[in-house]
Amino acid sequence: MSTITDLLQPSLDVTRILRGQGIDNPARASPRVVAVAQEVLDEAQALLAPAAIHTILPVRDFHHQTVILDDRVTFEGPLVARALAGATQIALAVCTIGPALEERSSALFAAGDPLQALALDGAGTAAVEEVSTIVTARIRAEASARGLGSGMRASPGQEGWSIWQQRALFGLVPAGEIGVRLTDSCLMLPCKSVSFVVGLGLEMRPDAVTCDFCSKRERCPWRVR
């Protein structure tokens, strides 16, 4: 088990904040929205408390759409089966930026300042994605140093992998050590948190992305290309 709190500080900018708000092209944003994103930049950066925890476990068996990690824990579904096909080990990770930013965003909404609240929320979305990207890169580098390849990343809740499988993942990764817990509906708190798995093995490659297996892939502006 590895807990990471160092070297995870995301580098935010206005473009990333806007993208976190769902604005993939800054030219489409109104001048006011862009200005507010600039206004919250320093505050957003100061509110981040990024942390991650991950572990690597062996794959015990694999059949049809079920990946068996031990006698009690399985991952099931077409997406996770595709993501982990050929893996001999699985890296499981949970990442977060902590609760402070979303608490500040909620306070701004309650105070009647939705533009700043939305800008901060967008900053949080961008930040946690960058944290998860950094952690994924570390996992891949560690695997490569051991002579292993790494596959695509997949998360419970994506199409083809039920959100209820968060319980199985959290049963294997003590996310509480970095302050992340599950609600009864399997959502993570703090909300700006991400969980995922990456398959590791001699023949694993990261060429495929989860977007390739999503039914919305032809019309989604967030598709990885």
* Tens digit of each residue's pLDDT (9 = 90 or more) over 76-110: 999 999 999 999 999 999 999 999 999 999 999 99
Rounded to an integer, what distance in angstroms lies between the CA atom of residue 11 and that of residue 215?
32
Banded pLDDT at 117 (limits 50, 70, 90): very high
What does the pLDDT read at residue 2?
A: 76
pLDDT value of residue 224: 43
- pLDDT at residue number 27: 86
- What's the pLDDT at 84? 92
Closest by alpha carbon to 44, among 13, 5, 22?
Answer: 13
Does residue 35 register a pLDDT over 70?
Answer: yes
User: Which pLDDT score, from 0 to 100, does residue 5 have?
Assistant: 67
Residue 210 pLDDT level (bands cut at 50, 70, 90): low
Across the chain, mean pLDDT equals 89
pLDDT band at 8 (very low <50, low <70, confident <90, very high): confident
This prediction's pTM: 0.87
